[in-house]
Amino acid sequence: MPQLIEDKLLILSILVILAILVTRLTKNYGVPALILFLGLGMLAGSDGPGGIEFDNAPLAQAIGTIALIFILFSGGLETKFESVKKGYKSAFSLASIGVIITAGLSGVFLHFVAGYDFKLSLLIGSVIASTDAAAVFSVLRAKDLGLRGDLQPVLEIESGSNDPMAIFLTVMMISVLTIPEKPLYDYLLLLVLQFGIGAVTGLAGGRFITWIINRLDFLSPGFYPVFVLACALGIYSGTALISGSGFLAVYIAGIVANYYEYQHKTNTTRFFEGLAWLSQIGMFITLGLLIFPTRLVDVAPIGIVFALFLMFIARPLAVSISLMFSEYSLREKVFISWGGLRGAVPVILATFVLTANVEGGGLVFNLVFFVVILSALGQGWTLPYAAKLFKVSAEKNLTKKVLIDLETGRGDDKTLFDLFVQPGAPAVGQKIVELGLPKEVLIVLIERKGKYVIPSGSTRISEDDLVILLVDKHQIKEAAAYFKTADDQPKLSEPQNG
């Protein structure tokens, strides 16, 4: 019987299982996950013991694009709107001005130090200029790294929103090299459309998801996350088709969706968390398969020097200028500079160069790949130590919740809602019987310091308790007010019409 896809499925399953198993090294030894997945891909590739022949840049680009959609949307679902309000100005400055400065400095460096053609040098600078959401999310969240103030949201929002500028600069430089007669205003229009349309469709798309999902009654709870997945794909593709940034749109849509309450929100969040990890595994293994490690030897000398230039000169200057009027201390700016990790996005942008048949495309891809590896090893591995060195580490904010969902009948608005008790909240130190909760609100379980407490009327609420409530959807905001400070309240979407 001829083999169709069984052998490929077996190889795929083995790679995914190995990738999941080696992630223990991330927790135990601090090795960034993207390095493990890239390394696994390279070992499985044609230059490694696996011997898998893979040299399909368009396919790798497609896989990377789909993976980034899910990674960015999942990242948005786990980003609190309050964090966005604190750090968006600095993050957007880094995502625009910072990317331009990094690209320009990199281009000048490669031209004068490596002797590359100036236009090709600027193209490489454009490709490598953006930080990567997958890398930043993975390192900050997998390592449970707590940071002072708004440093973490700044790094995460920057990495989730700097793709439009990097894509714009990359497409512009590819056009300059391949279609030199294209007018300047075409590029400027592309930039405006990328940011403008991406932001608008992201806001509208995220609000649409929460609005429509509360008005639908699917046959099975399993349909809800699948419906949201289809919406995320639709937001990306629809935005891209009208010249907006689909990546920016799905990230914003995730943030907006997380701002509102909707049916089966916890199941959806859990679904996308798993999907984001699967996407990272698939994307980085694919990119690892695409590279030929023996070809990296040729770019290693200039790659090491270029990576050091990015880490210690280009990125710090870009951060300093972008945050010139901010209130960050010098230590905080240095840490933000060190936290600008390179990852999948620069490598995927390098595949754009390969598929556009730009002269020197192979050099661009290999050099960018080499720099990404050094960035992940040098910066990603040492980020927790840098936080302690520059005194910006803090006790980890409590964000991980018990993902329990409640399946209710049609027309029943009751739901399980879990939240951490904030310091200074009205309920802190009070007995449950003294709280005066609405009689339709029931505290069903409390998690305190890793142990579960079955509450009674005499149970006192402590700060940092994880309180699980049984509540009507329309009373979530009222109930949450007892356990939250005034500036940390959830936004409630309209309840389902029964």
Q: Are residues 281 and 358 in the same domain?
A: yes
In this structure, the answer to whether residues 437 and 390 fall within a common structural domain is no
* Burial of 266 from C-beta contacts in 10 A (0-12 / 13-18 / 19+): middle
> How far is it, in rounded angstroms, from Cα 236 to Cα 222?
22
CA distance 457 to 443: 10
Q: Is residue 273 part of a domain?
A: yes
The DSSP symbol for 316 reads H
∠ CA 222-216-235 to the nearest 5 degrees? 75
- Report if residue 400 sits inside a domain: no
- Asked whether residue 367 falls in the same domain as residue 450, the answer is no
CATH at residue 296: 1.20.1530.20
**Dihedral Cα 438, 439, 440, 443, nearest 10 deg:** 80
β-bridge mates for residue 445, sequence order: 468
Does residue 209 belong to any structural domain of this protein?
yes
Strands of 442-448's sheet in order across:
414-420, 466-472, 442-448, 451-453
Nearest to 157 by CA among 270, 74, 75: 75
DSSP secondary structure code for residue 129 in this structure = S
Residues 230 and 190 in one domain: yes
pLDDT score at 496: 39
Does residue 467 fall inside a structural domain? yes
| Domain containing residue 475: CATH number | 3.30.70.1450
8-state DSSP, 461: P
For residues 92-106, b (16+ Cβ closer than 10 Å) or e, as one string?
bbbbbbbbbbbbbbb
Within-domain flag for 496: no
Q: Which two tokens stand for residue 214?
A: 């509360």
Helix/strand/coil for 497: coil
Shared domain for 140 and 104, answered yes or no, is: yes
Residues 301 and 446 in one domain: no
Residue where one domain finishes, among candidates 334, 365, 395: 395
The pLDDT of residue 4 is 66
> Quick one: DSSP state of residue 475?
G
Q: Residue 466: enclosing H or E segment and its boundaries?
A: strand 466-472
Do 51 and 155 reside in the same domain of the chain?
Answer: yes
pLDDT at residue 2 in the model:
55
**Domains contained in the chain, number:** 2
**Residue 403 placed within a domain:** no
494 lies in some domain = no
End-to-end CA distance of the chain: 54
Tens digit of pLDDT per residue, the chain (498 long)? 455 688 888 888 999 999 888 887 766 666 677 888 998 999 998 888 888 888 899 999 999 999 999 999 998 998 877 777 778 899 999 999 999 999 999 999 999 999 999 999 999 999 999 998 777 877 776 656 678 778 888 988 898 888 889 988 998 999 999 887 778 788 888 889 999 999 999 999 999 999 999 888 888 888 999 999 999 999 999 999 999 999 999 999 999 999 887 888 888 998 999 999 999 899 999 999 998 888 899 999 999 999 999 999 999 999 999 999 998 999 999 999 999 989 888 999 999 999 998 999 999 999 999 999 999 888 888 888 888 899 888 765 444 555 566 555 555 667 777 888 888 889 999 999 998 888 888 999 998 887 889 999 899 999 888 898 888 877 888 888 898 876 555 444 443 333
pLDDT at 141: 64
The answer to whether residues 261 and 306 belong to one domain is yes
Distance CA 100, CA 366 (A): 22
CB 145 within 8 A of CB 393: yes
Q: Vertex 491, ends 486 and 497: CA angle to 5°?
A: 140
Give the end of a domain, one of 395, 426, 448. 395
How many angstroms separate the CA atoms of 404 and 401, rounded? 9
Q: How far is CA 289 from CA 12, 26, 134, 230, in A?
A: 12, 21, 18, 28
Query: In whole angstroms, what is the distance from residue 493 CA to residue 263 CA?
Result: 10
If asked whether residues 446 and 343 sit together in one domain, one would say no
* Cβ contact 338:317 at 8 Å: no
Q: Are residues 367 and 418 in the same domain?
A: no
Residues 173, 228, single domain; the answer is yes
Supply the pLDDT for residue 191.
Answer: 86
Q: Are 373 and 468 contained in the same domain?
A: no
* 489 part of a folded domain: no
Q: Which domain holds residue 320?
A: 5-395
Per DSSP, the residues of 386-431 read HHHHTT-B-PPP------------TT--EEEEEEEPPTT-TTTT-B
Give the pLDDT score at 254. Answer: 95
